[in-house]
Structure 1
Amino acid sequence: MRNTITKISLFILIGILISGCASEKKVPNGKKLLTKNEIQVNTKKEKRELIHNQLYQKPNSDILGYHFRLNLYNLAKPKHDSIYKAKFIANPEKYKRKSKWLSAKQVNRLGESFWYAGIHEFLMKSGEAPVIIDEKSTKKSTALLKSYYFNNGFFNTKTKYEIDSISAKKAKIKYTVNTGNAFFIDSLQTKILSPELDSLYNSKKTSSLIKTGNQFKSEDFKGEIDRITSHFRNNGIYLFQQNYINFEYDTINKKNKVGIELKINDYSYREGDSTKTKPFKAYKISEVNIYTDYKASKTKSEKKDTTKITYNNFNVFSKGELKYKPKAISDAVFITKGSLYSDIKTNLTSRYFSNLKVFNYPTIQYDFDPKDSTQSALIANIYLTPRKKFSFGTSLDFTHSNIQDFGIVATTSVSIRNIFNGAETLDIAGRGNIGNSKDLANPSDSFFNVFEYGVDMKLNFPRIFMFFNTDKIIPKSMIPTTTFNVGYAKQRNIGLDKENFTSTLSYNWTPKRNILARFDLLNIQFVKNINLGNYFRVYSSSYNTLNTIARENLPTDSDFFDEKNNLIIDSKTNEFLTSSLGNNPTIILNDVDRKIVNSINERKIRLTENNLIFASNFTYTKTTKTDFNDENFYSFKTKVESAGNFLSLMARASKQLNNQDGSNTIFEVEYSQYIKNELEFIKHWDLNRKKIVAFRSFVGIAIPYGNSNSIPFSRSYFAGGSNDNRAWQSYSLGPGRVAAFNDFNEANLKIAMSAEFRFNFFGQLNGALFVDAGNIWNVLDNVTDEKAVFSGLNSLKDTAVGSGFGFRYDFNFFVVRLDLGFKTYIPSEESNKKWFRDYNFSNSVLNIGINYPF
């Protein structure tokens, strides 16, 4: 460990020294490289990123103090073409020799190759030119600082700067800011010329962001302009824009006080060569026209050729016979006849139609109604462009796993839109997988000796299907949908050759723009294991442990072993388990071995039994992420699942007999009964200049009860892998401090936390430093091994820690990720060997993933 830390420290030190020597390389004589900005506000040092971001000139970017991009730039030779020519001018004979076996043209073109030219162009493009101190830019920075504090109520702010030389070509800039006293709002007056606007403003006056006694802040005034504009435009004031709002400030004869006057002018418009004004007024919707076959190239005159249907005060136009049920179209429209104009209703209508996946994003336009004598009516025109009725998709992937050495996965899908004329969508997908596994029996000696196939169907309805009306609970403004899924998959020579049937009936809605809710009324999964005799070939670690114990307790000539003295799969492995366990064992084991064999047997029984899961669950997700590029947000997700209660009632009602273990069965299959809860929290901090800190925490627990004393494998938790603790492979960590001898380790309690520092190298190439912590444990189930059981806060000392670094290449539409994880704290090791026991490249784990882990 000491040698490792010494090497790392030496590497970092050498890097710093090289950086220090190279950073001035391309700084012109008489100029200074900007190394640091210091800001002192009212005699106190200011470190906040928000304040430093006001500066116009900033030092070169760095990665933990190392100026990577600056040094890349300094490695480039800007005059590489002249350098190439110079070596031939200095040595003409060399040019002649090269021209004989290449040609003069090829020798000249060699100077434009990547080695002579391209590499330097790449370094300059990917690198970062040195930031040279420029006094014009520095003065601009002082002006920006002054403006920032002025906008926060410090009207008498004074700023100055000083360039402090560090060496002949290096300097830092010290900015000094004296803010003076802050100004506070002592009065708010209003002058709103249009009576209708004045009435609307006063109806929501208490919601104003401008309040007497508050410190003056420009952002409050921007927010107030947005609030007033939104309030007016959502209450019929169709013609209103932000530029009609003005604030006037009065500080005359006021000590650190400012009086505010809000002015909102009348509507102005051009008439001939003159500009006129008139009071604003509210507009109502007189007609709503919906065009279901709109094309951008279509002219208004072509509307005469369409068929018109009037339904619930909506005029629905179509080319020929209407292909949609009128209710399916009208349910998506929140703009209603007789209502006031509203931006919210317009946006909600656009979102709803877009969410249907039957139309492209709609176009909504408003025209003044020429038949309205009061000139305060609007006609809403909604133009819908249908997507194609059918769409097809295919994909091909190559895979590798611990079971398949090589696999090819092909999928094909078809989407059918508006299948029942109610804007429903039906997706049908088929998938097939063929692969090779050298560990499986292959009597025909064929390369592809494993395969899997499956089919999935998803039917989506743009409404809630329930036996009672849910409009009051989940109104259509929440854009509800109902989805019915059915899936079937079958495996051959993969694991235990499972047949898997799944079905879900789920409801989705959005209570608010940044909140998603999902309720699975039915979530059914039936797993049937066909090739039970393959168990110990799949779970080879369990077999190796059992084989070792058998060798130690049976004679070498026993018929339990094959010619290589290995326990025979499957007949003798099962016989050994039966003979060494139970009340009257014929093979006597010591307590330790008996405990291990019993654990292997219990796990085998659980993983080979058929599973019937009949569950319901509710998922709630909230995020503050505004768009794809937002990197300063948090998200929260919780899920509650309950399984087996309905089947328990059915079993009692049908008087199903218990099996030998005393558990109830349905169709001769023991059903699972448990309750499960998960919590996940993700937070991103944007440090600017493409530096981001990301954090994730997760807690999940599944508690068996009633008909079950354990959790089905498909619903249990595992640790390790590219999106978890990256220093361990998937399923290889835990549970607890157990030195895992199973191939697929799982448990029913999981705690995980991860933190990443993400940064940019150059262009689309990014890097990350990360720390992952967490583990899985057993709790309130049939596992009794104290090393695996969570017994309270004291068990948190068995939390595994991994750390490492990674590279990400951003292709814009997806990110390819490589992470190298190192085992930092190994809970299963002895107490003096837990930290940095395997902290080296030979024991590291390489993870390859798509997109970020969180």
Structure 2
Amino acid sequence: MQLTVKTGFLSLLMLSLLPAMFSSCTTVKNAPAAPFVFDNKITLSGNIPKDEKIRLTTELENYWDDSAKARKITQFGVSHRVIDPPVFDSANINRSINFMNAYLNSQGYYYAQFSDSVKIDSVNDERRVKLHMIIDVGKNITIDSVSYNLGDTTLQRLTSEEQKNTFLKKGKPYNKEVINSELDRLVSLYRRNGFYGFTREDIYTVVDSMDTRLLELTLDPFKQAQIIADAARRRRENPSWDIEVTKRPTFDSSKLTQYHIGRMYYYPETKLSDFVDSLPNDSSFLELKRRNLTMRYKKGLFNYRVLREHTYMRNGDLYNESDYFKSINTLGQIGAWQQVDIRPRIRDKDTLDMYFYLVPALKHSYSADLEGSRNTADIGLGNLWGVSTNLTYNNRNVWKSAIQSITSFRTGVELNLLTSNQDRVLQTFLISLGHTYVFPKLIQPFKNWRALNRLDNKRTLVTVNGSYVDRRDYYRLRSLVTSWGYEFKKGNNVWLYKPFNLELYGIDTLHGLDTLFKINPFLRTSFNSGKVLSQNHTLIRNYTSIANPNRSHYLRLGIEEAGGLFGLIGGLRDQIYRYIKVEGEYRFSIKMNKTELAFRAFAGYGYNYGNDTLRDKTLPFFKQFSAGGPYSMRAWGLRQLGLGSSVQSEADTSQNGYRDRFGDMQLEANIEYRFPIATIAGIKIASALFADAGNVWNVKSNQVDPKARFSFKNLLTDLAIGVGTGLRIDFSYFLIRLDMAYKLKDPARPTNNGWANALQWNEIRPNGLKVNNVGFQLGIGLPF
């Protein structure tokens, strides 16, 4: 079936936005006979930055009085229906002004001026009221001076030493959030330096808005009036306040006591039903004592060393709340315990004993998964239906040392159910077995390397995995992969480093694949095999803007180097691959009231610098980049985009079923606007409008297919662009996604520089190949 609409590029873009266009009308449900609130609008004026104006406008929408606000639901990201609108009452406008003014005061705007506009329209016998609030926010209060009066020499000294980290800086805007942040910072500072009893209630701020020039004495009434007028003018033009941080009167001496760490007591076999406050008095425990550490147990399920290694508090140290929470988090993230709690107890007048209550996680666990797939991008016969099963066994406490052991077994088949020859039903058989040990520490020779103590969530990972794939009549692939790596965290950064990664691949080509090689010689590079001895580094950073918590960022950088050192050994030079591969990914999202705008950018580059004539062209195929599928360029099938604007592989596709494309370089950018549709029986139904752009290329020249190589001058020509929409069904614990995307620009399309000038579900290329322009993708979870 083919639908052709003679329309231009602009019309095609408009077609992708039809859901939003259809939803632009607004209807009313349960409209009262009296005039009712139909719409609310806020306009800010004043000399304030654009981002600040947008932020305040968005926040102020939440401060309309309930009886003066139209309750709306959205569909396709646009207001669609007003439900049970309130009857208009002018008194509710004043309440809204009071709420908005209070919020602006909390943000440091104390001189805002409000004016409102009320417009009544008659539509279908409905009297709709549109409320428009116009606010001149004036200038934000700035901080003039900051002082600290803490009444204790130690507190005063700590405050002075950390003055550079204060949130209260002269000339900066004043608001209550800044005040709260500063008080939280000071309390955290004191509790990191032994003041265990100091709390937020013990400190406050005094704000002085008085202009000291008003205190000038004069008997001249005209002079006094001039002083008052000048003060009012200064307050309007450049309002500023003095702030003093002070301590409340202290009647409890523990508030100003610096505590030191005493003895550590561990209860690693605590039950959820235990009343932990009574456990220290239970005499039925066995005890293991080491210096200032006591482990109390009954079954002996854990070794004390793992507890000591992941406790960041030591006997005699000042109490540090950061180390306290760091110990809780680290012990909880090992996996051996499902719940960790630490309760300090005061002993003597300045000593804290720490009691650790740890509830063990289930030691042994098993899981089984069944997966189904449909493969239309394979060699030989297409439309293969696959089924596979995954069995996983997890031991969370190997050798009583909280070491995790993960064993996985997978097997599956691909069947050609459409063939009339029953002997060819079974097309692919695969089987794999893998095992991983996760040690809750960094195993390395530098036992006294202090730099390692500053790292969090330290883990050593040892992995080995073997697999066998038999693709009937085409190839048999065997692989063995083993690695030794480290994972740790510092701040918002997660580091993964594998100093040793060994990958062995062997492939037997059968007569079916040899026949394809004769027809299509370039396929040989997609079935190269060999050995990889490499190391790789990965940095992952997640962070959220402090100024705007609705904006989140994700950054991943990775580099892999193979054969750099071992390739210098003559006996190994021709036995292993030598290459370098780098990639980076950045994600950014803005969450609005009910919608979200998400962006992703990815770049990857690999260069093979080996000397072997077979390998000096590209990376090994199992290390190359590919595009297409439910998590990449969604208008194209899995691994079916590229290379560049080459049509060589597409021409070959008309003669055989091989479609997989791999390249040494990839660029991709994605943008998606997500919005809710409805909630049915607790299941959230949402949708999205999205666009994907990118491609994969080779980095070295190929005389047979020169258009497959990347060059900056051909970048715009080579870029593929897809647009589409989709459904997201959110079951809370997992999300099912169905996306439909259209090839707006296909570099392999021979006309109009690849751009679509007509909406066609499919098209016939000059070589007679029928190509689908619409891709349907089924995925689990969000694409990025």
- TM-score, normalization: structure 2? 0.83
Equivalent residue in structure 2 for 1:436, among 415, 421, 441: 415
Given that residues 503 and 524 in structure 1 are in contact (C-alpha distance below 8 angstroms), is that contact kept between their aligned partners in structure 2? yes
Residue 726 of structure 1 pairs with residue 702 of structure 2: no
Given that residues 311 and 326 in structure 1 are in contact (C-alpha distance below 8 angstroms), is that contact kept between their aligned partners in structure 2? no
Counting only pairs closer than 5 Å after superposition, residues 382-421 of structure 1 correspond to structure 2 as 382-402=356-376, 403=378, 405-421=384-400
* 1:278 to partner: Cα distance: 6.8
Q: Which amino acid aligns with 1:787?
A: K
Q: Which amino acid aligns with 1:713?
A: F
Partner residue of 2:596?
692
Counting only pairs closer than 5 Å after superposition, residues 17-166 of structure 1 correspond to structure 2 as 20=25, 23-24=27-28, 26-42=30-46, 48-55=54-61, 56-57=63-64, 60-62=72-74, 66-70=78-82, 128-130=83-85, 133=88, 135=90, 137-166=92-121
* 1:810 to partner: Cα distance: 1.0
Equivalent residue in structure 1 for 2:132, among 152, 174, 185: 174
Partner residue of 1:264?
247
Given that residues 541 and 555 in structure 2 are in contact (C-alpha distance below 8 angstroms), is that contact kept between their aligned partners in structure 1? yes
* 1:11 to partner: Cα distance: 11
- DSSP-derived class of the 2:56 partner: helix
Partner residue of 1:378?
352
Given that residues 487 and 494 in structure 2 are in contact (C-alpha distance below 8 angstroms), is that contact kept between their aligned partners in structure 1? yes
- Which structure: greater strand fraction? 2
Once residues 292 and 776 of structure 1 are traced to their aligned partners in structure 2, the CA distance between those partners, rounded to angstroms, is 52
Partner residue of 2:696?
776
Q: 1:795 to 1:622 in 2, by over 3 A?
A: same
Given that residues 238 and 283 in structure 1 are in contact (C-alpha distance below 8 angstroms), is that contact kept between their aligned partners in structure 2? yes
Given that residues 410 and 432 in structure 2 are in contact (C-alpha distance below 8 angstroms), is that contact kept between their aligned partners in structure 1? yes
Given that residues 823 and 837 in structure 1 are in contact (C-alpha distance below 8 angstroms), is that contact kept between their aligned partners in structure 2? no
- DSSP-derived class of the 1:779 partner: coil
Partner residue of 2:476?
497
Partner residue of 2:450?
472
Partner residue of 2:259?
283
Q: 1:343 to 1:136 in 2, by over 3 A?
A: farther
Given that residues 259 and 319 in structure 2 are in contact (C-alpha distance below 8 angstroms), is that contact kept between their aligned partners in structure 1? yes
* 1:172 to partner: Cα distance: 2.2
Residue 834 of structure 1 pairs with residue 754 of structure 2: yes
Once residues 272 and 22 of structure 2 are traced to their aligned partners in structure 1, the CA distance between those partners, rounded to angstroms, is 63
Partner residue of 2:737?
817
Higher relative contact order (Cα pairs below 8 Å, separated by 6+ residues): 2
After superposition, give the CA deviation of every residue in 1:644-689 in whole Å (9 maximum; x if it has no partner).
Answer: 2344234x1x4x7xxxxxxx543xxxx221101001111001122x
- DSSP-derived class of the 2:577 partner: coil
* 1:638 to partner: Cα distance: 0.6
Partner residue of 1:792?
712
Equivalent residue in structure 1 for 2:664, among 748, 751, 770: 748
Once residues 689 and 344 of structure 2 are traced to their aligned partners in structure 1, the CA distance between those partners, rounded to angstroms, is 52
Residue 206 of structure 1 pairs with residue 206 of structure 2: no
* 1:293 to partner: Cα distance: 1.4
Given that residues 76 and 677 in structure 2 are in contact (C-alpha distance below 8 angstroms), is that contact kept between their aligned partners in structure 1? no
Once residues 444 and 21 of structure 2 are traced to their aligned partners in structure 1, the CA distance between those partners, rounded to angstroms, is 66
* 1:738 to partner: Cα distance: 1.2
Counting only pairs closer than 5 Å after superposition, residues 546-565 of structure 1 correspond to structure 2 as none
After superposition, give the CA deviation of every residue in 1:698-723 in whole Å (9 maximum; x if it has no partner).
Answer: 11000011233121111111121111
Counting only pairs closer than 5 Å after superposition, residues 620-659 of structure 1 correspond to structure 2 as 620-625=539-544, 632-650=551-569, 652=570, 654=571
Partner residue of 1:307?
286
Given that residues 388 and 410 in structure 2 are in contact (C-alpha distance below 8 angstroms), is that contact kept between their aligned partners in structure 1? yes
Q: Which runs of 5+ in 2 are unaligned?
A: 213-230, 232-238, 654-658, 763-772
Q: Which amino acid aligns with 2:391?
A: T
Once residues 848 and 291 of structure 1 are traced to their aligned partners in structure 2, the CA distance between those partners, rounded to angstroms, is 47
Q: Which amino acid aligns with 2:240?
A: K
Given that residues 34 and 87 in structure 2 are in contact (C-alpha distance below 8 angstroms), is that contact kept between their aligned partners in structure 1? no
Q: Which runs of 5+ in 1 are unaligned?
A: 71-127, 270-276, 537-569, 578-596, 657-663
Once residues 187 and 385 of structure 1 are traced to their aligned partners in structure 2, the CA distance between those partners, rounded to angstroms, is 50
Once residues 243 and 403 of structure 2 are traced to their aligned partners in structure 1, the CA distance between those partners, rounded to angstroms, is 54
Residue 712 of structure 1 pairs with residue 624 of structure 2: no
Once residues 385 and 535 of structure 1 are traced to their aligned partners in structure 2, the CA distance between those partners, rounded to angstroms, is 56
Partner residue of 1:674?
579
Equivalent residue in structure 1 for 2:337, among 356, 359, 373: 359
Once residues 489 and 177 of structure 1 are traced to their aligned partners in structure 2, the CA distance between those partners, rounded to angstroms, is 67
* 1:360 to partner: Cα distance: 1.8
Residue 610 of structure 1 pairs with residue 529 of structure 2: yes
After superposition, give the CA deviation of every residue in 1:127-167 in whole Å (9 maximum; x if it has no partner).
Answer: x5457655455334322332233233332323232212243
Once residues 673 and 462 of structure 2 are traced to their aligned partners in structure 1, the CA distance between those partners, rounded to angstroms, is 41
Equivalent residue in structure 2 for 1:737, among 639, 645, 654: 645
Larger Rg: 1
Partner residue of 1:188?
146
Given that residues 266 and 278 in structure 1 are in contact (C-alpha distance below 8 angstroms), is that contact kept between their aligned partners in structure 2? no
RMSD: 3.1
After superposition, give the CA deviation of every residue in 1:611-668 in whole Å (9 maximum; x if it has no partner).
Answer: 32221110011111599x9752011111011112344234x1x4x7xxxxxxx543xx
Given that residues 24 and 170 in structure 1 are in contact (C-alpha distance below 8 angstroms), is that contact kept between their aligned partners in structure 2? no
Q: 1:185 to 1:12 in 2, by over 3 A?
A: closer
Equivalent residue in structure 2 for 1:218, among 143, 160, 176: 176
Q: 1:730 to 1:10 in 2, by over 3 A?
A: closer
* 1:478 to partner: Cα distance: 2.2
Q: Which amino acid aligns with 2:436?
A: K
* 1:814 to partner: Cα distance: 1.4
- DSSP-derived class of the 2:726 partner: strand
Once residues 758 and 814 of structure 1 are traced to their aligned partners in structure 2, the CA distance between those partners, rounded to angstroms, is 17
The range that moved more, 47-56 or 454-463, is 47-56
After superposition, give the CA deviation of every residue in 1:287-310 in whole Å (9 maximum; x if it has no partner).
Answer: 111112112333426632222222
Once residues 528 and 13 of structure 1 are traced to their aligned partners in structure 2, the CA distance between those partners, rounded to angstroms, is 51
Partner residue of 1:296?
272
Once residues 221 and 642 of structure 1 are traced to their aligned partners in structure 2, the CA distance between those partners, rounded to angstroms, is 49
The range that moved more, 305-314 or 717-726, is 305-314
* 1:54 to partner: Cα distance: 1.4
Once residues 368 and 631 of structure 1 are traced to their aligned partners in structure 2, the CA distance between those partners, rounded to angstroms, is 41
